[in-house]
Amino acid sequence: MTDNLNLPPFEAKISEQAGKSVIWDPVRKFWTALTPEENVRQAFVAYIVNHKGYPISHIANEQGIELNGMSRRCDSVVYDKAGQPKVIIEYKAPTVTISQKVFDQIARYNLVLHVDYLIVSNGLKHYCVKMDYAAGKYTFLQDIPSYAEL
C-alpha cells in the first residue's frame, strides 16, 4: 500500500484484525486501522526518522490539544530535546488535494503550540513552512528540514 506514495519505501508491519487491515504504529506502539491517511502518516514518520534523523521518541501521533475550549488532535507533533513542540504535521489521504483549508486547519493548531515548522502531506506532495513570528510571516521551504536543523 505504501508503494504509491512519493516517499521512500519502508518496512510497514501490516496485519488483519477482525477482518480489517491494520498497521503497526511504532510511535504509539499499537495496531491502528490502515486507512489511506494512516498509511501516509506511517510512511512520513518512517521518512523523517530514517532519512531526516528525527528521534522516534520525540514524535507524538494524535497529540491532543485544546483549541477554543474544544479538544482537537494534531496528526503528529515533533518535540525538541527539551520537550518543546517544534513541528506540527498534518496528513491527508493521497486523494485529498492540499488546499488553503488544510493550511487553515494546521494554522489553528499552531495558535496553541506555536511551533517553528508546519508540514502538510498527502503522501504525494509535501509542503513545509518555516514560521517567522518576529516578522509576522512564513516561508515555504524546498525540503523537509533534518532534525538537527530544527
Q: What is the pLDDT of residue 8?
A: 94
Edge-first strand listing for the sheet containing 126-132? 59-67, 70-79, 85-91, 117-121, 126-132, 137-141
Domain boundaries, the chain: 8-142
H/E stretch holding 22: strand 20-25
What 3-state class would DSSP assign to 101? helix
- Residue 130: the pLDDT is 97
Specify the pLDDT at position 4.
86
HSE-up (13 A, CA, CB side) for residue 125: 7
Contact 44, 123 (CB under 8 A): yes
CATH code of the region 8-142: 3.90.1570
Locate 10 and state its grid cell. Answer: 519502508
pTM of the model: 0.95
Residue-by-residue pLDDT tens, the chain, 150 positions: 556 899 999 999 999 999 999 999 999 999 999 999 999 999 999 999 999 999 999 999 999 999 989 999 999 999 999 999 999 999 999 999 999 999 999 999 999 999 999 999 999 999 999 999 999 999 999 999 999 999
- Nearest CA-CA partner of 74 in 57, 56, 61, 55: 61
pLDDT for residue 3: 63
